[in-house]
Amino acid sequence: MAFQAVLDVAPMSYIRERLGKDLCALLDLIDGGAAGDDRLRAVASVAIDAESLVAEAAEREELFALLPEVKRRELAQRLGSERVDVESLSYLSGLKWSLDQRRELLEFFGFIVDRAPAVPPLFRQDCGPEYALFPHQRTAAARVKELLYDGPRRVVLHLPTGVGKTRTGMNLICDHLRQHEPTLVVWLAHGQELLEQAAAEFERAWGKLGDRPVSVVRMWADAPTGLEGVTDGVVILGLEKAVSAAKSRPEFLRLLAARSSLTVFDEAHQIIAPTFQRVVDALTIRPDASLLGLTATPGRTWADIAQDERLSDFFSRQKVMLKIEGYSNPVTALIEQGYLSRPTMRTVASEAGLRLSAGDQRLLANSFDIPARIIEELARDEQWNLKVVQTIMDLLERKHRRILVFAASVDHCRLIAAVLSAVGLDAEFVTGESSARHRSQVITRFKSAARRPMILVNYGVLTTGFDAPAASAAVIARPTKSLVLYSQMVGRVIRGPKAGGTTTCEIVTVVDPELPGFGDVAEAFINWEDVWETA
């Protein structure tokens, strides 16, 4: 039965209600008065959306009521009713009205329905893993495994910040646990943020890659150093806790070493500190024990090659660095391929606020890093602080929504955040003195997708283990001679779009002309290659 034929017998109230007041008023205006019924019925078949009437239960009920009983019975039989004596309206109302049945109804009213062709069975489709590695990470992990279980059984995995060294490390740990059952893996790190990040990341990784229930033991701060019943899984061990146990409870490290076959040292450039080295030596005393170091900066210093040689020797000079075909420096490739953000790096100089004596200049020249007394003096300098604030304001004008500031000291951190807050900006600060709850709340807000720009000023807590992909700008207001520290600060904002970060980022270093510093770390990744045999 044609849809127009249905509308021809429908009451005018039904027609006007579905045409709507606006369309009826327009037809009235065109006709120079009230549009006639014939005009409205003629327009109705075009203006009324039959598909929407068919799709809604209440509309279908009214539409069926307009049909003669003979047509309702015909429709019911077309839709599957085998009884000729069934009450057709009840039957039609009782149907669930699947997509195919609604198409049948449209065809009954004379509409041509394009039915989708039958979907052929899928003989091939992609199936993505839930804890995947990028190709360059898989290549590096494969080379690590070749060295981890042969020869000296120790190796450093050298990946740039933002390229997923933790994720790659967790894949290696999960693989180790699957191959060695039961066994323990010990993860060593410094600082609560890094330790909790490692524990949470292992839980996420093992949930996707694991093959059995294992223990995840968080062992830092005030947590006990008990190993009763812990024979299979991961022990996330704080370095301070490990050093303390080495002095007061050496039997704890001996027991842990007896049960573990792999030790992972995060931020491996720290490992040759004597207290840390003793812990690692105790944990890797078994002949089948392996040691994996993770770092973005495989050196202790920038200029003291003897220190870097010691670090390289500790790992038997075995290091796996990213290698990407066609590129001499993998960082360049990772930027071009979108894994790292494309950085714009520049320096701005304040007016010289420091007047260093000859003695200070000699002290500065002979120190590993800039002495704290000189840093404190700089942090009180008005011209320096003015330049830091101006730099932040400039980045806000350039539409950066998340700006990370590395301050020179705790007091400097508070000062900068207070000045920014005083001018109505959303600025927070965190330091090593901040409570864990405060740090967590502030960092969660900074990582959020809120549109209002936010500045997070920090000192001493966000140089490692901090991941805020939305941060697109960093202000380095912490003078340093340490390429390691500088690289870590810069690395907080260079996560690229393929890793959930930004396409570009901006890094501004505020310098005092009297102090040494870095303005560009483009070659930092390969700075230490002369003391390693890269695999």
Token pair 């014939």 is at which residue?
A: 38
Name the class of domain 339-523. alpha beta
How much is the average pLDDT of 302-314? 72
Give the pLDDT band (50/70/90) at residue 520.
very low
Half-sphere exposure of 330 (CA within 13 A, CB side): 21
Phi, psi (deg, nearest 5) at residue 344: -105, 115
Q: What is the pLDDT of residues 185-197, one digit of tens each?
A: 999 998 777 888 8
Q: Is the CB of residue 364 less than 8 Å from the CB of residue 374? A: yes
Q: Under a CB-based contact definition with an 8 Å cutoff, are residues 491 and 464 in contact? A: no
H-state helical runs in 380-507: 382-397, 410-422, 436-447, 483-490
Read off the pLDDT of each residue in 501-528 and give the average, rounded to a whole number: 60
Task: Report pLDDT digits (tens) over 412-465.
Answer: 888 788 878 877 888 888 887 777 788 888 888 888 878 888 999 888 776 555
Q: Which of 180, 187, 182 is nearest to 165 (CA)?
A: 187
Q: Which is nearest to 520 in space by CA: 507, 510, 529?
A: 507
pLDDT at 146: 93
Which listed CATH number (3.30.413.10, 3.30.465.10, 3.30.1360.120, 3.40.50.300) goes with 135-321? 3.40.50.300
Distance spanning both ends of the chain, measured CA to CA: 78
Statement: the pTM of the whole predicted model exceeds 0.85:
no
**Closest to 3 measured CA to CA, from 36, 76, 52, 57:** 52
Closest to 282 measured CA to CA, from 252, 241, 310: 252
Taken in order 465, 466, 470, 474, is the CA torsion positive or negative? negative
**Mean pLDDT score, 127-153:** 90
Domain with CATH 3.40.50.300 in the chain: 135-321, 339-523
